[in-house]
Amino acid sequence: MFGVYKSSAEMILCLCFVAFFCLLASPCDAGCAEVDSLTEAVAGEGFLLGCISCKKREEVSAWATVDWYFRSKEEDEFSHIFHYDHPTASILDEAFSERLQWRGTLDQDIQVGAVYIQNITFNDTGTYRCTFHRTLFLPRSNEKVTVERVVELTVVATAKRGLVSVVAEIMMYVLIVVLQLWLIAVLVYCYKKIWNEHEDREAKKAQKAQEVLLEMKDNCTKVQTKD
């Protein structure tokens, strides 16, 4: 009986290992993570201006609007270029007319305020400011929060890949391969472990059945001898 419990525990442990490595080896969107935007765009191509503001408490419902501002190197003041109040997106600067697209959260509880700029030009070089105006709906009273993110954008003629970027990408793929190989090894180990224990149980059952038959045969022989 103890062996059965031990086998079950080991099986559960193996399954936990499998689930853990599956989570590591595959991407997931389990929650909000604040990641900085890229800062180098290529002229003539599109570019995603990233802006993320995570709520401290996911269970609290909220309503938010997002505003984008731009200041070129030649200017001292920011100009208001974009406003998003779900589901309405408004481009407020003619220089960005028909070039800005909302790529953020498609809900009133906005945490991702990214916008996509089409056909980047050198005139788009400068400072971008993303502002969240968020209202948290708390049990006692609503709370208003303002969060700002700044992106310093540089526009280049051709894309440049630094050594760090190349090494990081290679390491990412190596890590994925290693995790997958590790996962396969865990699966093989678990399978062999379970199969060996199954064979041991079957062998013990067969041995026990054989012992019972021998005992019955001995009893029959003794009865015949007495007769």
Separation of alpha carbons 204 and 167, rounded Å:
55
Inter-CA distances, 95 with 19, 41, 79, Å: 50, 17, 11
Identify the pLDDT of residue 172.
Answer: 87
Mean pLDDT, the chain, whole residue set: 84
Q: Give the Cα separation of 36 and 46 in Å (integer).
A: 18
What is the CATH number for 106?
2.60.40.10
16-49 per-position pLDDT tens digit: 554 554 444 434 434 688 888 989 999 999 999 9
| Four-residue CA torsion sign, 140, 141, 142, 144 | negative
Shared-domain flag, residues 156 and 44 = yes
SS (H, E, C) 80-135: EEEEEECCEEEECCHHHCCCEEECCCCCCCCCECCEEECCCCHHHCEEEEEEEEEE
How many whole angstroms separate alpha carbon 12 and alpha carbon 110? 39
Q: Is residue 31 part of a domain?
A: no
Instruction: Kindly state whether residues 156 and 178 are assigned to the same domain.
Output: no
* Residue 191 located in a structural domain: yes
Distance from C-alpha of 184 to C-alpha of 89, rounded to nearest angstrom: 47
More confident residue, 219 or 48: 48
Q: How many domains does the chain have?
A: 2
Domain assignment present for 35: no
DSSP 33-61: ---PPP-EEETTS-EEE--B---S-TTS-
Residue 109 in domain: yes
Give the mean pLDDT of 61-74.
96
| 118 and 220 together in one domain | no
- Two structure tokens written together for 36: 């900085």
Q: Greatest CA separation found in the chain?
A: 120
Burial of 44 (C-beta count, 10 Å sphere; 0-12/13-18/19+): exposed
Residue-level pLDDT at 10: 52
Q: Residue 209: what pLDDT? A: 83
What strands, in cross-sheet order, belong to the sheet with 143-156?
40-42, 143-156, 126-136, 62-72, 79-85, 88-91
- Do 75 and 134 fall into the same domain? yes
Tokens coding 25: 């080896």
Domain C-terminal end among 104, 128, 160: 160
| 76 and 156 co-located in one domain | yes
Please report the pLDDT score of residue 148 as a whole number.
Answer: 97
- What does the pLDDT average to over 87-96? 96
Q: Is residue 30 part of a domain?
A: no
Say yes or no: 63 and 103 in one domain: yes
Same domain as 54, residue 147: yes
Percent share of the chain, pLDDT over 90 = 56
Torsion of CA 180, 186, 189, 194, to 10 degrees: -120
Q: What does the pLDDT average to over 180-197?
A: 91
* Contact status, residue 10 vs residue 195, Cβ threshold 8 Å: no
Between 9 and 31, the more confident residue is 31
Q: What is the mean pLDDT of residues 134-156?
A: 95
| CB 91, CB 78: distance < 8 Å | no
Task: Report the alpha-carbon distance of residue 187 to residue 205 in Å, rounded.
Answer: 27
Q: Domain limits at 16?
A: 2-25+169-226
Once rounded to an integer, what is the mean pLDDT over residues 66-91?
Answer: 96
